[in-house]
Amino acid sequence: MLPPAYRADRKLLHELFSRDGRTKYRQQRLRGALVDISLVSYPSSQPKTAFIVSAKAAPLAVDRNRIKRRARAVVSKFQKSLPAGHVFIFQMNKSAITTSFEDLERDILSLLSPHLLLPTHYSLLTTHY
């Protein structure tokens, strides 16, 4: 479970995005096979994260919750390496429902690796958690 300081609540997401879906802050979109990540520059002392799974992608609430729980587990391993001043919004694709935890982890880390604040000798391919 991510600590509350690392979570983006509805109030923050509402502040970031207007009704037409555009943000007033600088945004970068990263697209993977299973996950799309929106990086929004936002002045804060801690990085914030939000996990979104639409009902269209996963009709059953059980599946939506499982996907979000798995994604949170991956991100929690590297929460201290996320740069401050950003909001990371993870949107899961429909194919994330049937994939394994390892594939989801590989996809998220491949997208996040350029943005993580890790030592140069640190390898994401080996497990350091």
Domain count, the chain: 1
| 118: CB partners within 8 A, 6+ apart | 78, 81, 124
* Assigned domain for 54 exists: yes
Give the start-end residues of each E strand in the chain. 27-31, 35-41, 48-52, 86-92
Q: What is the pLDDT of residue 102?
A: 94
105: in domain: yes
The answer as to whether 78 is a domain residue is: yes
Q: What is the pLDDT along the chain (129 residues), one digit of tens a residue?
A: 788 888 888 888 888 876 666 667 788 899 999 999 999 988 888 899 999 999 999 999 999 999 999 999 999 988 888 898 899 999 999 999 999 999 999 999 999 888 887 655 455 555 544
Using CA atoms, how far apart are residues 89 and 13, in angstroms rounded to an integer? Answer: 9
Say if 95 falls within a structural domain. Answer: yes
Please give the model's pTM, rounded to 2 decimal places.
Answer: 0.83
The total number of residues written for the chain in this structure: 129
What pLDDT score was predicted for residue 122? 52
In a domain, 122, yes or no: no
CATH of the domain at 50: 3.30.230.10
pLDDT at 113: 87
Q: Does residue 39 belong to any structural domain of this protein?
A: yes
Confidence at residue 80, expressed as pLDDT on a 0 to 100 scale = 86
pLDDT for 16: 81
**Considering the domain boundaries, does residue 125 fall inside one?**
no
Q: Quote the domain boundaries for residue 36.
A: 4-115
In a domain, 20, yes or no: yes
